[in-house]
Amino acid sequence: MVASVSPQQLPALLSNPNAYLIDVRDHDEWVSGHIDGARSVPLDQLRADPDHELPQQAVLVFVCAKGARSLTAAKLAERLGYEAIYNVDGGTAAWARAGLPLVAARAAA
């Protein structure tokens, strides 16, 4: 089952050493700002090779811009047999609205 987690609850969930925050937005969205510690795995890449992209025996936490793509990714993980799966309610937009920091990646020169 996919559980929802609010932006305010996310830091406590990520304190688990087995938790992996996976941002499924496109590269340009990632570069513009992401949650610190998130791993960028665009949804199309995840769909193409989920076994390579998802760590085994992990608590998987998916995030996107507003929550729709990350829910799709979470349901894919659920179909593949993963058990500890979370979706960030409202995505990075809700995270930013809550006043929580985003990290902007610097483009390569």
Q: What is the full per-residue pLDDT of the chain (109 aa) written as tens digits?
A: 999 999 999 999 999 999 999 999 999 999 999 999 999 999 999 999 988 889 888 999 999 999 999 999 999 999 999 999 999 999 999 999 999 999 986 655 4
Q: In this structure, is residue 103 part of a structural domain? A: no
Q: In this structure, is residue 82 part of a structural domain? A: yes
Question: Is 13 buried (19+), middle (13-18) or exposed (0-12) by CB count in 10 A?
Answer: middle
Q: How many residues make up the chain in this entry?
A: 109
Q: In this structure, is residue 107 part of a structural domain? A: no
Q: In this structure, is residue 47 part of a structural domain? A: yes
Q: Strand locations in the chain, DSSP E?
A: 2-5, 19-23, 39-40, 59-63, 85-88
Domain count, the chain: 1
Are 73 and 22 contacting, i.e. CB atoms less than 8 angstroms apart?
yes
Q: In this structure, is residue 88 part of a structural domain? A: yes
How far is the CA of 102 from the CAs of 5, 7, 72, in angstroms? 17, 12, 23
Range of the domain at 76: 2-97
- CATH number, domain of 37, equals 3.40.250.10
Catalytic residues: 64
Q: In this structure, is residue 64 part of a structural domain? A: yes
